[in-house]
């Protein structure tokens, strides 16, 4: 028999869940059960791949703390990953016992949340352990509590060993009827591979970059980028005002521009230098936007500051210079 423990707490020494899990592990090991614990806080980026470990388990323990609103976020991420990537046929044969030791109120609700979540996933939930722990030392020294914990571990062992059955539940009926979602029909092996890709930050970043590149390429193919565009250099030069004293340098990066070049502006009171460059020198403000948004600004539909405030332009550097930039042009 093999039992996996998925611990969703923060690993703090004062967490009473750690004591309870240690007691459970001792009992199960005496019963010659192979026990393996997965601490979610140790590998947050690997949570999406953890559902693949379920295929080796006969039973599991979900242990979590109670945060300000229900179960902790790491356990929620693990359950989300199980919904998206786990082998549901394998889950249907796995018994789950929840363990919720809380230092605040809500332990009963958290236990029910874990039981209901596992039932919706198609698994077999068992009644587990939940308690409010006011003083960790007193709790750990109480022999009555220790006996209760040990009995719960034994009950988990018996349920798995005897393949304990349960009466029908409305939760499963509702899940089968309405909780299917918009998930892609994948085989267990494909789901496992997908979970690995999603957990790989480098892969996800590359996919986003590829999508942006394809989007820009299709715009060109459809003629969107070929239509007549505003000459940014000429427009900025024609609308430059020399009456306002101000100095600053700016770089504008266009996310929908295929060529690797940026628009560079250097303003020194009555003079301005504007040009397209491939390598921008150090500037006061670096802006990122699209050609369409920049054209709206140069057409007078938006000011630089307004476009920044509504998120159409993102910038890093001295943001206050954007207001001064608006004073140097009249569109």
Domain span at residue 303 reads 232-327
User: What pLDDT, in 10s, does the model give residues 159-206?
Assistant: 999 999 888 877 767 666 655 554 555 666 666 666 666 566 666 667
17/303 Cα distance (integer angstroms): 56
- Whether 158 and 37 map to the same domain: the answer is yes
User: At 260, is the pLDDT very low, low, confident or very high (cuts 50, 70, 90)?
Assistant: confident
User: What pLDDT, in 10s, does the model give residues 8-20?
Assistant: 999 998 999 999 9
Q: Where are the beta strands (DSSP E) in 235-327?
A: 247-254, 262-268, 271-277, 285-289, 314-317
Of 172, 197, 222, which closes a domain? 197
Rounded-to-5 percentages of helix, strand, coil across the chain: 45, 20, 30
- Whether 183 and 237 map to the same domain: the answer is no
Percent of the chain with pLDDT over 70: 84
287/272 Cα distance (integer angstroms): 18
pLDDT value at position 154?
Answer: 95
pLDDT value at position 24?
Answer: 96
Domain membership flag for residue 75? yes
Percent of the chain with pLDDT over 90: 42
- Whether 158 and 237 map to the same domain: the answer is no
What residues have CB less than 8 Å from 2, skipping those under 6 apart?
33, 34, 35, 36, 56, 57, 58, 59
311/107 Cα distance (integer angstroms): 41
User: What pLDDT, in 10s, does the model give residues 69-108?
Assistant: 789 889 999 999 999 888 888 999 999 999 999 999 899 9
Task: Look up residue 3 and give its two tokens.
Answer: 């039992």
Domain membership flag for residue 12? yes
pLDDT value at position 219?
Answer: 62
pLDDT value at position 224?
Answer: 47
Domain membership flag for residue 222? no
User: At 225, is the pLDDT very low, low, confident or very high (cuts 50, 70, 90)?
Assistant: very low
Task: Look up residue 100 and give its two tokens.
Answer: 């919720």
- Whether 174 and 246 map to the same domain: the answer is no
CB atoms within 10 A of CB 282: 8
- Whether 189 and 285 map to the same domain: the answer is no
136/131 Cα distance (integer angstroms): 11
- Whether 181 and 250 map to the same domain: the answer is no
pLDDT value at position 15?
Answer: 93
Which stretch of DSSP H or E encloses residue 298?
helix 291-298
Domain membership flag for residue 139? yes
pLDDT value at position 270?
Answer: 85
CATH number at residue 170: 3.40.50.360
> Mean of the pLDDT values across residues 48-60?
92
Q: How many domains does the chain have?
A: 2
Domain membership flag for residue 96? yes
Domain membership flag for residue 301? yes
> Mean of the pLDDT values across residues 218-240?
68
- Whether 138 and 246 map to the same domain: the answer is no
Higher-confidence residue of 269 and 320: namely 269
Of 170, 197, 224, which closes a domain? 197
User: At 321, is the pLDDT very low, low, confident or very high (cuts 50, 70, 90)?
Assistant: confident
> Mean of the pLDDT values across residues 215-221?
65
pLDDT value at position 137?
Answer: 93
Whether 323 has a pLDDT exceeding 70, the answer reads: yes
Higher-confidence residue of 120 and 320: namely 120
Sheet of 314-317: strand order equals 271-277, 262-268, 247-254, 285-289, 314-317
- Whether 277 and 142 map to the same domain: the answer is no
Domain membership flag for residue 218? no
- Whether 314 and 268 map to the same domain: the answer is yes
Of 140, 170, 197, which closes a domain? 197
CATH number at residue 243: 3.30.1050.10
- Whether 35 and 134 map to the same domain: the answer is yes
pLDDT value at position 226?
Answer: 42
> Mean of the pLDDT values across residues 302-326?
84
- Whether 289 and 162 map to the same domain: the answer is no
129/149 Cα distance (integer angstroms): 7
- Whether 190 and 238 map to the same domain: the answer is no
Question: If DSSP codes are grouped into helix, strand and coil, which group holds residue 76?
Answer: helix
319/305 Cα distance (integer angstroms): 9
pLDDT value at position 310?
Answer: 84
Domain membership flag for residue 211? no
Place of tokens 């242990």: 63
């Amino acid at each position: 028999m093999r039992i996996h423990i998925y611990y969703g707490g923060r690993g703090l020494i004062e967490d009473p869940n750690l004591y309870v899990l240690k007691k459970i592990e001792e009992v199960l090991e005496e019963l010659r059960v192979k026990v393996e614990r997965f601490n979610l806080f140790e590998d947050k980026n690997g949570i999406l791949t953890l559902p693949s470990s379920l295929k080796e388990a006969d039973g599991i323990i979900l242990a979590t703390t109670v945060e300000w609103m229900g179960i902790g976020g790491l356990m929620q991420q693990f359950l989300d990953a199980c919904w998206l990537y786990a082998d549901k046929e394998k889950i249907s044969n796995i018994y789950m016992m929840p363990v919720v030791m809380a230092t605040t109120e809500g332990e009963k609700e958290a236990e029910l949340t874990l039981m209901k979540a596992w039932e919706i996933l198609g698994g077999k939930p068992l009644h587990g352990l939940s308690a409010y722990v006011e003083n960790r030392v007193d709790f750990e020294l109480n022999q009555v509590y220790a006996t209760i914990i040990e009995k719960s571990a034994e009950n988990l062992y018996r349920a798995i060993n005897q393949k304990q059955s349960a009466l029908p539940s409305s939760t499963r009926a509702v899940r089968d009827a309405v909780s299917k979602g918009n998930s892609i029909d994948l085989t267990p092996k494909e789901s496992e591979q997908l979970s690995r890709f999603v957990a790989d930050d480098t892969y996800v970043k590359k996919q986003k970059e590829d999508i942006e590149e394809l989007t820009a390429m299709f715009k060109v193919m459809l003629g969107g980028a070929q239509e007549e565009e505003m000459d940014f250099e000429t427009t900025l030069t024609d609308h430059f005002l020399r009456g306002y004293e101000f100095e600053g340098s700016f770089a504008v990066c266009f996310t929908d521009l295929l060529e690797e070049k940026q628009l560079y502006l250097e303003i020194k009171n009555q003079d301005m230098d504007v040009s397209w460059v491939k390598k921008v020198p150090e500037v006061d403000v670096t802006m990122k936007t699209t050609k369409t948004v920049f054209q709206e600004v140069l057409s007078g539909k938006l000011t630089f500051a307004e476009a920044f405030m509504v998120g159409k332009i993102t910038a890093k550097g001295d943001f206050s210079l954007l207001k001064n930039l608006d004073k140097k042009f009249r569109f």
